[in-house]
Amino acid sequence: MTRRSFAGTAGPALLLPSGQIAGSKANSAIRMGLIGCGGRGVGLGTLLAREDRVRFTALCDLRPEQMEKAAPHLKAASAKRYRDYRELLNTDLDAVVIATPVYQHPEQLESAVLAGKHVYCEKPAAVDVEGCRRVIRAGSRASARQCIVFGFQNRYGPGYRKAETLIRSNAIGAIKLARSNWIASTGIGKRSRAPVPPDQEKLIYWNVWRQYSGDIIVEQNVHGVDVLNWFLGSAPIKAYGTGGRILRTYGDNLDHLNVTFVYPTGVHAVLTASQFGPNGYRVVSETFLGVEGVIETQRQSLSIYRNPKEVSLEKIEKDITETALEEFVQRILDHQPENTAARAAESTLTCILGRMAIDQKREVNWKELGV
């Protein structure tokens, strides 16, 4: 499968007759399972547990204590516990949330799809090209009745959706330049780590090792890159960039980077990211400069500038992760599934392209990436 065929693998939502999705009638609770009971899994599960239409009936984690900690937050005291996700999938669940380390996503997504479950999988798709290919193949094998969603919650935020509509309608003229910023301190050089057995170290602290996380550009910055691809209408054709480690001494991930992506229209989009800085300082946003105006998107706001007398700022009160999960549930119940595997893989591959450009300190393209 080539990069150009990614977008064609996931069509629009399908309207299906009532009752075609087993166990998810409009007035019954969706039987949900959680694979990965760490902080992100519990966070997603807590939001879903607020829904009367969702009931967690199964939990899975390699560490039993994590499941016990998670259960109260998910209202899942009676949920069955599993250490092997394949056993969880071999039950009468309707849907599953995958919130495990990134390197596990392709295999677990594939298994969940083949088991016939609806899937909400945390981003990104994978840590490498082969993992992305596996995600694409899995998505293409999903039934038209399955909802396959990745955790790119910006796609579901009302501010982002309005911004995308404005750009498509040429409200600020042709886009000539774009930027994604992810500058936020993670406590590098200041945060202590609890001692763990050596054989569990990378399992627990997986997020600072490229082999398991894909590095910060893939695991974290992919959110902004996904917005760049979405608003600019495609993946870029090439990238060049720089990056390194200034304060990070543990793991092998970068702690800062700058990458320029060049899109088919000639638009340059710059990604700037840093995980160090003063506590509390945070700039996470995307900016699109058109010939007649500027649009800036953030999780909780949308800014539109056309001239000094025409400036607007809209606040988004509701958390967009909650909005994304609500739509996931609603799509299941309304029999309007979406399959986002291909576009999730494309955004992930875009970040892998940027990572390659940083590593090789030169301009790189998709052919060199092997896609």
For the stretch 166-184, pLDDT in tens is 999 999 999 999 999 999 9
The set of residues, in sequence order, having a beta carbon less than 8 Å from that of 57 and lying 6+ positions away, is 31, 32, 33, 76, 79, 80, 91, 93
pLDDT at 6 over 50: no
E strands in 308-368: 310-315, 364-365
Strand partners, 302: 297, 314
Bridge-based pairing state of the strands 364-365 and 238-244: antiparallel
Higher model confidence: residue 120 or residue 191? 120
- Tell me the pLDDT of the chain averaged across its residues: 92
Q: Same fold for the domain at 3-154+322-340 and the one at 157-318+352-369? A: no
pLDDT of residue 202: 85
pLDDT at 23 over 70: no
pLDDT tens digits for range 242-281: 999 999 999 999 999 999 999 999 999 999 999 998 888 9
Query: What percent of the chain stands above pLDDT 90?
Result: 85
pLDDT tens digits for range 344-368: 999 999 999 999 999 999 999 999 9
Determine the CATH number of domain 157-318+352-369. 3.30.360.10
Residue 14: pLDDT band with limits 50, 70, 90: very low
- Tell me if 255 sits within 8 A of 274, measured CB to CB: yes
The torsion angles phi and psi of 336, rounded to 5 degrees, stand at -125, 65
The residue extents of the domains of the chain are 3-154+322-340, 157-318+352-369
| Paired tokens of 160 | 């982002």
Determine the CATH number of domain 3-154+322-340. 3.40.50.720
pLDDT at 8 over 60: no
Least confident of 12-21, 69-78, 271-280: 12-21
The three-state secondary structure class of 243 is strand
pLDDT of residue 187: 82
pLDDT of residue 371: 86
pLDDT of residue 279: 85
Residue 66: pLDDT band with limits 50, 70, 90: very high
pLDDT of residue 277: 85
How many degrees, rounded to 5, is the angle at CA 107 between CA 106 and CA 113?
A: 85
The three-state secondary structure class of 311 is strand
Residue 4: pLDDT band with limits 50, 70, 90: very low
Instruction: Record the pTM.
Output: 0.92
Strand partners, 240: 260
pLDDT at 239 over 50: yes
pLDDT at 91 over 70: yes
pLDDT of residue 13: 34
Q: What is the mean pLDDT of residues 278-293?
A: 95
> What number of residues does the chain have?
371
